[in-house]
Chains A and B, each alone.
Chain A
Amino acid sequence: MAVAVSKALAGLGFFKQRRAKTARVARDRIAFMPIVLVGCGLVLFVLAHVWLRLQVVHLGYELSTTSNLQNQLEQENRELKVELATLTSPERLEATVRARLGMVEPATGQVVILP
């Protein structure tokens, strides 16, 4: 009788324990979910951050190349301005039109000043 009772109790306890274990696992899982989610979020966030950093560096290179190009073009522009100014200096122009085009200074009356 006593054995039967203890068995029954043990059996009861066993069942109770198993039930309790299953419930705890389920409860743990539920409790664990937010941590998993937060973890995943964190990983995603870190990945996004790394991606953004890479983008920034990549754009930094692009910016550097473009800024170099800009400097180069500005320099070229200034060089061309110097060249233009040198080529159109009055001294050179006068020598060129006299020698190549045979032009001369106009006499006073040849120039008509328009109103």
Chain B
Amino acid sequence: MKRSSTTRIRSRITVAGLFFIALFIVLGLRAFQLQVLEGARLKRLGERQHLKELIVQPKRGTILDRSAEPLALSLEGQSIYVRPQRLKGAESAGHALAEALGMEVSEVSRRLNSNKPFVWLKRKVTPKEAERVEALNIDGVEIYPEPDRYYPQGQLAGHVIGFVGRDSRALEGVELHYDAYLRGESGSSRIERDALGRRVLVQGVEELRIPPGSDIQLTLDTSIQHLAEKELEAVAVKYRAKGGIVVVVEPFTGEILALANYPFFNPNNFTAQAAAQRRNRAVTDSFEPGSTFKAILAAAALEEGVVSQDDLFFCENGKYPFAGKVIHDSHAYGWLPFSKIIQHSSNIGVTKVAEKLNKQRYFKYIEKFGFGRPTGIDLPGEPPGLLRPVDKWAPIDLATHSFGQGISVTPVQLAMAYAAIANGGILMRPLVVRRAFGSDGQVLWENQPRVVRRVVSEKTARSVTNILKGVVDEGGTGVMAAVDGFEVAGKTGTAQKADPARGGYAAKKRIASFIGFAPADDPRLVMLVIIDEPEVNVYGGVVAAPAFRAIAGGALRRLGVAPDKPDSPPLPVSRESAAPQIERKSGPVGQRADGSPEVPDFVGLSLREAMAKARELKLRVELRGTGYVIKQSPSAGANAEKIEALTLNLQG
């Protein structure tokens, strides 16, 4: 009895055991089938449900000015797209979407009923529109994050910055030229999503961290740029001109401080403006330089030693037959020294100088100054200008080239040539971009100033500068370019415009220009002002020179350049009430017993008065603090000639 029940139990256990073993074998086989035989396919199917491709949009770098003011920034914008095949109830959805996006119902319906698998409904929507579409929660209508470019300064330097079109395609300016650095990389990463579609970052965020584009710092100075644009617009409007250009360059480094084209271009709204208006004409267009080119001839003639500043030339009283044509001057002149020829801008005079120089030598210097080939500025679309090879020059070309006709130059080429005269004879490569930063703020690379070549000797450059100073002095054509407190060297230009339809020159169309640098002997900026087709007056000395004066005055102040002419005494500023109670005992500048000047008493003077007095005595000053002078070293009465610097302690 006992034995039989034990056997039964055993056999039941055995059966159960076998059953489970069989079950496990079946399970194992099924697991083998699922995991090994069909594993890859099933895994793919599963991933399709819970993994989603996340496209990480590239973050475009910021563009900054030389003092790190942002000029172009990227934000994450949103665009709405439709997958028409997934859409249910296109009609009601159409009405709701049209209302949410402020679009025509017919337009929305047309897009919703498209046969394509993917249709943009509206690009670059406002955050509010995106919110409204999200609230509608229509299946098949989705929001796509797209980077959006903003230019917070509006039209300021719009031509230099350029713009970015749809799909982050850079189309103009620095945006285009430095696109490879600014763009940043786009990437995609697969992320897990749960049943509700929420993102679960089980793999961490490392894959989502895609390096953004580098930030680019320009050489432009926003305040000088603003000043240039403001004055350019004022002049263009005043003289009813078709357009205008201002280029401001730092002569020793070739850095462009401002580059303005009128009419302006606002990159925030690039579609609304014609293609011609978007073009950076200061770089891409060439024009006949006219009389401003006479400085190039002067530099060549002085460098080759064929003339000196005081050599006399007979200016034929205004009419000079040359190579079968007659050359005219605007005023009739007789005998003029070479420097006065440039000062009065005599075409006949420069023709005679060019004859002495000969065309081969002149051509050599035109090329050396960088004309006839691109300057290599870091902006797109730069042409070489038009310079015919010397062996193709007609006899008259020597004369016309000497006063800037029959040759085409870009404004940047002309500015760089004058920069070479200003800096002592060295042609620099113009620069618009200073450096690039990585996302962590470290400098990735830097554009160092680059010397192209020495064009003329320092002595020649100084002589040309002296001649050009005469242009702005009393009696010259550029008097209206004189800047208070600074010596200016420059040249006016009034060029006829070529008439492409009829050939030759247009009867009334002129280009008025002025190019110069200041302070003349220690130049901090070179500036070219071009006014295209002014109607009220056409002369460079009248139209362009005052704009130079206004911009240069403000720009030099912005650059912190102290006036170099003594005839600009500081104006008093009345703030007497703020003065501390210190006895004022400053008297006139005295002399010591041995006749040498003595250091006056500065104590009690305001900073402004003290600086004016020190400047009068040509004393170098070291300042400690601000307000009113409470102590000076050396003290009053010391020999002013023997001290190196005067230290003033201020307070108040």
Residues of A whose CB lies within 8 Å of any CB of B are 56-57, 59-61, 63-64, 67-68, 71, 75, 78-79, 81-86, 88-91, 94, 105-115
14 additional contacts (CB under 8 A) given A64-B199, A85-B71, A108-B485: A59-B202, A60-B201, A61-B198, A64-B200, A81-B70, A82-B70, A85-B73, A86-B152, A89-B156, A91-B153, A108-B557, A108-B563, A108-B568, A114-B623
| Complex Cα gap A90–B229 (Å) | 11
A115 CB contacts on chain B under 8 angstroms: 620-623
Q: Does B593 contact A (CB under 8 A)?
A: no
B557 CB contacts on chain A under 8 angstroms: 106, 108, 111
| Complex Cα gap A110–B563 (Å) | 11
The prevalent SS among residues of A at the interface is helix
Q: Mark B552-588, 1 if CB is under 8 A from A, else 0.
A: 0110010011110000111101000000000000000
Q: Does B608 contact A (CB under 8 A)?
A: yes
- Known: A75-B76, A108-B484, A115-B622. Contact between A89 and B154, CB under 8 A? yes
Q: Mark B605-623, 1 if CB is under 8 A from A, else 0.
A: 0011001100000001111
Pair B153/A89 contact, Cβ less than 8 Å: yes
Pair B76/A94 contact, Cβ less than 8 Å: no
**25 sampled A-B residue pairs with Cβ under 8 A:** A60-B200, A60-B202, A63-B205, A64-B198, A67-B208, A68-B199, A75-B76, A78-B76, A79-B75, A82-B75, A82-B152, A86-B153, A90-B222, A106-B557, A108-B484, A108-B553, A108-B557, A108-B568, A109-B485, A109-B563, A109-B568, A110-B570, A110-B573, A111-B557, A112-B612
Q: Does B107 contact A (CB under 8 A)?
A: no
Q: Does B651 contact A (CB under 8 A)?
A: no
Across the interface, name the chain A residue whose C-beta is closest to B570. A109
| Complex Cα gap A86–B192 (Å) | 40
Q: Does B69 contact A (CB under 8 A)?
A: yes
Q: Does B333 contact A (CB under 8 A)?
A: no
Pair B223/A90 contact, Cβ less than 8 Å: yes
| Complex Cα gap A26–B226 (Å) | 99
Name the residue among A71, A90, A114 with the largest chain B CB count within 10 angstroms: A90
A89 CB contacts on chain B under 8 angstroms: 152-154, 156, 222
Closest 10 CB pairs of A and B: A85-B152, A90-B226, A113-B562, A60-B200, A108-B484, A60-B202, A63-B201, A64-B199, A86-B152, A109-B571
8 A Cβ contacts from B49-80 to A: 69-71, 73-76
| Complex Cα gap A67–B207 (Å) | 12
B69 CB contacts on chain A under 8 angstroms: 85, 88
Q: Does B144 contact A (CB under 8 A)?
A: no
Of the residues B73, B569, B607, contact of A109 by C-beta under 8 Å: B569
| Complex Cα gap A75–B620 (Å) | 51
| Complex Cα gap A105–B611 (Å) | 21
Q: Does B324 contact A (CB under 8 A)?
A: no
B74 CB contacts on chain A under 8 angstroms: 78
Q: Does B239 contact A (CB under 8 A)?
A: no
Across the interface, name the chain A residue whose C-beta is closest to B615. A112
Pair A113/B192 contact, Cβ less than 8 Å: no
A114 CB contacts on chain B under 8 angstroms: 607, 611, 623
Q: Does B120 contact A (CB under 8 A)?
A: no
B198 CB contacts on chain A under 8 angstroms: 61, 64
Q: Does B102 contact A (CB under 8 A)?
A: no
| Complex Cα gap A115–B570 (Å) | 16
Min CB distance B143 to A, Å, is 14
Across the interface, name the chain A residue whose C-beta is closest to B226. A90
A63 CB contacts on chain B under 8 angstroms: 201, 204-205
B226 CB contacts on chain A under 8 angstroms: 90-91, 94
Pair A112/B154 contact, Cβ less than 8 Å: no
| Complex Cα gap A4–B71 (Å) | 118
| Complex Cα gap A75–B147 (Å) | 11
A108 CB contacts on chain B under 8 angstroms: 484-485, 553, 557, 563, 568
Across the interface, name the chain B residue whose C-beta is closest to A111. B557
Pair A60/B192 contact, Cβ less than 8 Å: yes
Pair B202/A56 contact, Cβ less than 8 Å: yes
| Complex Cα gap A94–B229 (Å) | 13
Of the residues B73, B75, B553, B611, contact of A112 by C-beta under 8 Å: B611
A56 CB contacts on chain B under 8 angstroms: 202
Q: Mark B188-214, 1 if CB is under 8 A from A, else 0.
A: 000010000011111011001000000
| Complex Cα gap A109–B623 (Å) | 20
| Complex Cα gap A56–B69 (Å) | 44
- Known: A91-B226, A113-B562. Contact between A61 and B153, CB under 8 A? no
| Complex Cα gap A106–B76 (Å) | 42
Across the interface, name the chain A residue whose C-beta is closest to B486. A108
Across the interface, name the chain A residue whose C-beta is closest to B612. A112
8 A Cβ contacts from B230-253 to A: 230
B484 CB contacts on chain A under 8 angstroms: 107-108
Pair B201/A113 contact, Cβ less than 8 Å: no
Of the residues A67, A105, A109, A112, contact of B201 by C-beta under 8 Å: A67
| Complex Cα gap A108–B485 (Å) | 7
Across the interface, name the chain A residue whose C-beta is closest to B191. A64
B200 CB contacts on chain A under 8 angstroms: 57, 60-61, 64
A107 CB contacts on chain B under 8 angstroms: 484, 571
Across the interface, name the chain A residue whose C-beta is closest to B70. A85
Pair B73/A81 contact, Cβ less than 8 Å: yes
B568 CB contacts on chain A under 8 angstroms: 108-109
B612 CB contacts on chain A under 8 angstroms: 112
B156 CB contacts on chain A under 8 angstroms: 89-91
Q: Does B150 contact A (CB under 8 A)?
A: yes
